[in-house]
A = this chain, B = another copy of it.
Amino acid sequence: MPDLPSGNAVIGQSGGPTAVINQSLAGLVEGLKAGLAASGQVKRILGMRHGVRGLLKDDLVELTGISTAQLEAIARTPSAALGSTRDKPDAAYCDKILAGCLKNDIRYFFYIGGNDSADTCRIVSEKAAAAGYELRCFHVPKTIDNDLLENDHTPGFPSAARYVALALMGDALDNASLGGIKINVIMGRNAGFLTAAAALARGALSKGAAPADRAAPHLIYLPEVPFSTEAFLADVEAVYSKLGRCQIAVSEGIRDETGAEIGPKLMRGKGEVDAHGNVQLSGSGALGDGLADLVKTGLTPKGGKAPRVRADTFGYIQRCWPGPSPVDANEARDVGRFAAELAAKGETHATVIIKRVSDAPYASACARADLSAVARLSRHVPEAFIAGTNDVSDAFDAYCRPLVGDLPTLARL
């Protein structure tokens, strides 16, 4: 039996919510109930309202006595049941978090989020050690962007990828029925995994076909591949002139050869700048509309008729659609439970990671890693998943398809 401190546990959720982040909350609570709470080290299980902000404001919710039925209902509900925050704590902020832990006799700190949340765990853990206060800090992974290092993939991504694949499947047929050029702008500012998932809408693999010979989506643009408006127009024209239609998936974060984002350029200075100094890309149709204008202008023959061009910007629905991937729901539950088990085993600070154990049949397992291995760092779509300048590889398809659950089989005449 490891030497474990006695006190309370606190759980928080941070950053953009996902369809399964509450599965991780439920996994943590049931893991604590079965382990540290059952053995007496954890007296109370508390939830922070709106992430660490709740700890600073003493806005905490009692989860100790939550019924299994309510926990299951919460687990099935998308978005962050505790509320979330975009705060990115610095050292001074983390001092206040530590003060909140002392005030509430917190000895176990669990934070569900992305690489910023892992960094918060790391700083708070170091500050507690320096202060001689025994505090165990654990990060539980979550992000639809799939950009955490060490992880095969991150909870939240498979459900968002499922939404994107289903949306592109329906949209491809809509595009085929009326023709024209359809641009779909997909979330993921720095990592293109979610945009890449558009390729799952193809029933068959692309196997290096020319864009016009691919099943839709014909063109896929990731932030990892420098975007040239000239090449883009040439790509679209090649498909449209042959098929009379073209379906495109494009990441909100596409950027040119210098690394400058395309979105803000097309927004003509209209974009809102957020707390991180980034121009707001989501929750606005500006990039899609800008690309549509580009295509209309670029592909209208002299004195001729403009092609039909439509742009849909996939908004917040893609991360909170109430129909998650079953694989994702299970794994998100597992990482929560595993974090509680790490704490019970006497670990002092760690992040939980997902490892792929087998491809066919697909199987995964949880493991531990150091907080510093994921904190602040970002993963990008690897070269092996990219095909040329406007597609993903069959290797990406093989990687991603097992994660999203069964997709419907659609038919054409």
Chain A interfacial positions (CB closer than 8 Å to B): 13, 16-17, 19, 47, 50, 61, 70, 73-74, 76-86, 166-167, 169-171, 173-178, 182, 270, 272, 282-286, 288-289, 292, 296, 306, 309-317, 319-323, 408-413
Tell whether, in the assembled complex, residue B320 and residue A174 are in contact, meaning their CB atoms are under 8 Å apart: yes
B residues less than 8 Å from A321 (CB atoms): 166-167, 170
- A54, B249: Cα distance in complex, Å: 30
A283 to B312, CA, bound (A): 5
Sample of 15 more A-B contacts, CB < 8 Å, known A78-B174, A285-B285: A74-B411, A77-B411, A79-B176, A83-B176, A166-B321, A166-B322, A167-B317, A170-B321, A171-B317, A174-B319, A174-B320, A272-B306, A284-B289, A310-B316, A311-B315
A385 CB → nearest B CB, Å: 25
Chain B residues whose CB sits within 8 angstroms of the CB of A320 once the complex forms: 170-171, 173-174
* Subset of 17 A-B contacts with CB under 8 Å: A17-B173, A17-B174, A76-B410, A78-B410, A79-B170, A83-B177, A84-B177, A86-B178, A173-B320, A272-B296, A283-B311, A284-B311, A285-B289, A286-B289, A312-B313, A312-B317, A322-B408
Say whether, besides A78-B170, A320-B171, A320-B173, A310 and B289 are in contact (CB < 8 Å).
no
Cβ–Cβ contact A81 & B316, under 8 A:
no
Q: Are A322 and B413 in contact (CB under 8 A)?
A: no
- CB within 8 A of A413: which of B47, B169, B284? B47
- A313 — which chain B residues lie within 8 A by C-beta? 285, 312-313, 315
Asked whether A316 and B312 contact (CB < 8 A) given A70-B411, A79-B177, A284-B292, the answer is yes
- Chain B residue with Cβ nearest A411: B73
Taking the nearest CB of chain B, how far is it from the CB of A283, in angstroms? 3
Q: Give min CB distance, A379 to chain B, whole Å.
A: 24
5 tightest A-B CB contacts, nearest first: A285-B285, A283-B310, A312-B315, A79-B173, A73-B411
Residues of B within 8 A of A309 (CB): 283
Are A17's CB and B178's CB within 8 A? Answer: yes
Are A408's CB and B81's CB within 8 A?
Answer: no
Assembled-state Cα–Cα distance A235/B73 (Å): 32
- In the complex, A79→B310 CA distance in Å? 16
Q: Which of A73, A83, A410 has the most CB of B within 10 A?
A: A410
A273 nearest CB across to chain B (Å): 11
A173 to B79, CA, bound (A): 6
CA distance A175 to B314 in the complex (A): 16
Minimum CB distance partner of A82 in chain B: B413
Q: Is the CB of B317 within 8 A of A77?
A: no
Are A17 and B285 in contact (CB-based, < 8 A)? no
Which of chain B's residues have a CB closer than 8 A to the CB of A410?
73, 76-78, 322
- Is the beta-carbon distance between A81 and B412 smaller than 8 angstroms? yes
With a CB–CB cut-off of 8 A, which chain B residues contact A73? 409-411
Give the Cβ gap from A279 to chain B, nearest Cβ, in Å: 14
What B residues does A61 contact at CB under 8 A?
413
With A177-B79, A413-B82 already in contact, the answer to whether A310 and B317 are too (CB < 8 A) is no
Question: Quick one: which of B17, B282, B312, B408 contacts A76, CB cutoff 8 A?
Answer: B408
Q: List the B side residues contacting A176 at CB < 8 Å.
A: 79, 83
Check if B284 sits within 8 Å of A81, measured CB to CB: no
A173 in complex: contacting residue of B77, B85, B288, CB < 8 Å: B77
- Using Cβ atoms and an 8 Å threshold, which residues of chain B touch A283? 182, 292, 309-312
Report the separation of the CA atoms of residues A40 and B409 in the bound assembly, to the nearest whole angstrom. 34
A170 touching B322, Cβ below 8 Å: yes
Which residues of chain B are within 8 angstroms of A50 by Cβ–Cβ distance? Answer: 177
Which one of A86, A171, A285 has the highest number of Cβ atoms from chain B below 10 Å of its Cβ?
A285
